[in-house]
Amino acid sequence: MDLRLTEEQEMLKTSVKDFIAAECPKAMVREMQEDKVGHSPELWKKMADLGWMGLLIPEKYEG
């Protein structure tokens, strides 16, 4: 069984890593831990705009 990431998965991994480095510094994570909401709605929207919320949904269901 080949467990290596595909080229597409590697590109996603790199994109996520770069996004988090640019948009979610450690200080922001600490703030979210103390916040009652527990997440940044603005950051969540940016991730949704990138299509990440549908990654686990099959394409036949428009994921």
- Rounded distance between C-alpha atoms, residue 19 and residue 7, angstroms: 18
Residue at 21 is within a domain: no
Which residue has 């990431």 as its token pair?
5
Residue at 61 is within a domain: yes
Q: Which residues of the chain have pLDDT under 70?
A: none
| Amino acid 59: pLDDT | 87
What is the count of structural domains for the chain?
Answer: 1
Residue at 50 is within a domain: yes
- Rounded distance between C-alpha atoms, residue 11 and residue 7, angstroms: 6
Residue at 53 is within a domain: yes
Angle at 45 between CA 43 and CA 49, to 5 degrees: 120
Residue at 54 is within a domain: yes
The helix/strand/coil state of 44 is: helix
| Amino acid 38: pLDDT | 86
Which residues form the domain of 43?
39-63
This prediction's pTM: 0.76
